[in-house]
């Protein structure tokens, strides 16, 4: 039986970041698939490469958590700046999200006119900038030191934001963007669904600011796919691909891991699996009950993958906002990621395209085989039809799609991220530590949430736990 200090289960963003930060330790990162990255992986099908999910990469700039962690690792990513972060298309309306605030505001006043546009978006931008200037953002549980550190972090946020922390996104929109048009509000909610997996009715003002402001930062395209970025990040890490951890048994001072290939004795275990899927890994009833105590986040994704040809130049990212909800989905918008034309892996003989929208995981689980096939085809065909209305010059050569059941089969999770955080649910939010010594969590279903920046904040907290 091989003995190791740290076992990391899952090579998603969180597992990869924490593994790279501790690559000098006796550490093994286990990944059940051959492709690294989980939701951020790149895979091959029909002799073409596809990104599993959207490919926006943000935060690689001075003063931001991603740049800090990458610098600590000694890693320089192979990325390309996207001059236009997202092009939003809603009927005849078209709006480019750019980092240049005045340029964005000029477009906004033309597309979604409102006398308080500058007031609203200036506040959004300022709140975001102030948040990333706050040092030692921290939230953790299960020890006196963790609670004290969390309290001090909360005090820093209160000092910085005061009553803004208590204001809801919905009330702020009503106060500043009064009489907002349905189209304008749909634009805001479509942006929030990309970043926070929810709409303005469910979140505080600060969360909305972080969700809406990310295109004001520099947005990048990862060359050769998000999976290649993960692979490069892990170049100095001992990775076990194609080796699934089947069960974990807790002993007094260590854990016994049974995989599809071997047995391991580990002092510490870090789970990059979804918080909702982790109970099944353990034999210990107390650990099972702990993970089962978190109510399942039913939100998931429906993703359409295309290989296309186009004679016209394409941006990296578009968002299409429709009048009605997409069939068997919970959103009236979908997000499109095109590979860069110069990408020698994803753009061979055309473009690789990933189109994603939001749906409910349980909807797809409760269908018969025939119903599943029929409804999957309906959603795919609807999205493809709407896609072609905006890109009639594109020739589609390959098309296939994925639901929550697909993701459960390949990356062992059926949901898409955790729940958007607010003061209402903060105390119920899972943290990197657990009530069980040397058992940790990381990823997008714990503090601080989705995307590279959200996951990185949680990684930073866990990193502090491991080095202190």
The token pair at 234 is 């892990």
- Is the predicted pLDDT of residue 437 greater than 70, yes or no? yes
Does residue 233 sit in the same domain as residue 167?
no
What confidence score (pLDDT) does residue 417 get?
A: 66
Q: Which of 157, 185, 220 is the last residue of a domain?
A: 220
Q: Which DSSP letter does residue 411 get?
A: H
Q: Which of 171, 197, 220 is the last residue of a domain?
A: 220
Q: Based on the number of CB atoms within 10 Å of its own CB, is 365 exposed (0-12), middle (13-18) or buried (19 or more)?
A: middle
Task: pLDDT band for 423, please (50, 70, 90 cuts).
Answer: low
Does residue 205 sit in the same domain as residue 290?
no
Distance, in Å, from the CA atom of 193 to the CA atom of 335, rounded to the nearest integer, reads 10
Residue 184 lies in a domain: yes
Task: pLDDT band for 419, please (50, 70, 90 cuts).
Answer: low
pLDDT tens digits, 51-97: 998 878 998 999 899 999 999 999 999 999 999 999 999 999 999 99
Residue 201 lies in a domain: yes
Q: Look-up: residue for tokens 């490469």?
A: 49
Pairwise pLDDT comparison (216 vs 197), residue with the higher score: 216
Q: Which of 30-39, 101-110, 197-206 has the lowest mean pLDDT?
A: 197-206
* pTM score: 0.95
With a CB cutoff of 8 Å and minimum separation 6, the contacts of 463 are 18, 21, 22
Does residue 265 sit in the same domain as residue 206?
no
Residue 81 lies in a domain: no
Other residues' Cβ atoms within 10 Å of the Cβ of residue 395: 11
Does residue 289 sit in the same domain as residue 303?
no
Residue 90 lies in a domain: no
What residue numbers bound the domain in which 108 lies?
Answer: 100-220
Does residue 165 sit in the same domain as residue 305?
no
Element (H, E) at 435: none
Does residue 260 sit in the same domain as residue 188?
no
Q: Please state, rounded to an integer, the average pLDDT across all residues of the chain.
A: 94
Q: Which of 368, 383, 411 is the last residue of a domain?
A: 411
pLDDT tens digits, 292-316: 998 888 889 999 999 999 999 999 9
Residue 120 lies in a domain: yes
pLDDT tens digits, 382-403: 999 999 999 999 999 999 999 9
Does residue 116 sit in the same domain as residue 216?
yes
- Is the predicted pLDDT of residue 130 greater than 70, yes or no? yes
Distance, in Å, from the CA atom of 249 to the CA atom of 265, rounded to the nearest integer, reads 10
Distance, in Å, from the CA atom of 337 to the CA atom of 411, rounded to the nearest integer, reads 21
What confidence score (pLDDT) does residue 426 get?
A: 65
What confidence score (pLDDT) does residue 198 get?
A: 87
Does residue 306 sit in the same domain as residue 290?
no
Q: Based on the number of CB atoms within 10 Å of its own CB, is 183 exposed (0-12), middle (13-18) or buried (19 or more)?
A: middle
Residue 67 lies in a domain: no
Does residue 373 sit in the same domain as residue 462?
no
pLDDT tens digits, 353-370: 999 999 999 999 889 999
Distance, in Å, from the CA atom of 54 to the CA atom of 347, rounded to the nearest integer, reads 16
Q: Counting every residue, how long is the chain?
A: 468
Share in percent of the chain as helix, strand, coil (round to 5): 40, 25, 40
For 402, the 3-state DSSP assignment is strand
Residues 193-215: what's their mean pLDDT? 91
Q: Work out how many domains the chain is built from and give that number.
A: 3
Which CATH number characterizes residue 258's domain? Answer: 3.50.50.60
For 101, the 3-state DSSP assignment is helix
Strand ranges for 251-394 from DSSP E: 255-259, 263-271, 299-309, 317-321, 333-338, 351-360
Does residue 400 sit in the same domain as residue 362?
yes
- Is the predicted pLDDT of residue 20 greater than 90, yes or no? yes
Cβ atoms of 135 and 153 closer than 8 Å = no
Does residue 173 sit in the same domain as residue 207?
yes
Does residue 288 sit in the same domain as residue 332?
no
pLDDT tens digits, 254-294: 999 999 999 999 999 999 999 999 999 999 999 999 999 98
Cβ atoms of 139 and 431 closer than 8 Å = yes
Residue 324 lies in a domain: yes
Residue 30 lies in a domain: yes
């Amino acid at each position: 039986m091989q003995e190791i200090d740290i076992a990391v289960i899952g090579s998603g963003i969180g597992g990869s970041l924490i593994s790279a930060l501790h690559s000098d330790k006796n550490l093994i990162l286990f990944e059940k698939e051959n492709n690294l990255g989980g939701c951020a992986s790149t895979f091959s099908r029909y002799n073409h490469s596809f990104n599993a999910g959207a490919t926006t990469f943000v935060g690689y700039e001075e003063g931001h958590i991603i740049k800090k962690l990458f610098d600590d690792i000694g890693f320089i990513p192979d990325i390309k700046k996207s001059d236009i972060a997202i092009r939003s298309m809603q009927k005849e309306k078209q709006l480019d999200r750019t980092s240049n605030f005045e340029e964005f505001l000029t477009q906004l006043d033309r597309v979604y006119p409102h006398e308080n546009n500058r007031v609203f978006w200036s506040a959004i931008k300022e709140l975001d900038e102030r948040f990333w200037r706050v040092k030692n953002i921290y939230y953790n549980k299960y020890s006196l030191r963790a609670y004290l550190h969390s309290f001090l972090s909360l005090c820093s946020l209160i000092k910085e934001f005061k009553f803004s922390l208590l204001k809801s996104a919905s009330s702020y929109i009503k106060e500043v963007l009064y009489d907002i048009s349905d189209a304008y509000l749909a634009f805001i909610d479509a942006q929030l669904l990309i970043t926070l997996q929810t709409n303005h009715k469910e979140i505080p003002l600060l969360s909305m600011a972080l969700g809406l402001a990310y295109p004001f930062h520099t947005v990048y395209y990862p060359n050769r796919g998000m999976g290649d970025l993960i692979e490069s990040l892990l170049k100095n890490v001992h990775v076990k691909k194609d080796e699934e951890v089947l069960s974990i048994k807790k002993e007094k001072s260590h854990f016994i891991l049974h995989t599809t290939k071997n047995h391991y004795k580990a002092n510490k275990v870090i789970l990059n699996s979804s918080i909702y899927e982790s109970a099944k890994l353990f034999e210990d009833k107390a650990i099972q009950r702990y993970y089962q105590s978190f109510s399942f986040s039913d939100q998931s994704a429906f993703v359409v993958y295309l290989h296309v040809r186009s004679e016209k130049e394409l941006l990296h990212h578009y968002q299409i906002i429709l009048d009605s909800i997409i069939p068997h989905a919970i959103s009236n918008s979908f997000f499109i990621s095109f590979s860069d034309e110069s990408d020698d892996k994803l753009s061979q003989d055309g473009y690789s395209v990933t189109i994603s929208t939001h749906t409910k995981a349980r909807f797809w689980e409760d269908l018969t085989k025939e119903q599943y096939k029929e409804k999957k085809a309906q959603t795919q065909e609807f999205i493809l039809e709407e896609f072609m209305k905006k890109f009639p010059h594109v020739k589609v050569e390959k098309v296939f799609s994925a639901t929550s059941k697909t993701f459960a089969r390949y990356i062992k999770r059926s949901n898409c991220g955790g729940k958007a955080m607010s003061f209402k649910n903060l105390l119920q939010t899972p943290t990197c530590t657990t009530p069980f010594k040397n058992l940790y969590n990381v990823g997008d279903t714990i503090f601080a949430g989705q995307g590279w920046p959200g996951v990185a904040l949680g990684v930073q907290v866990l990193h502090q736990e491991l080095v202190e």
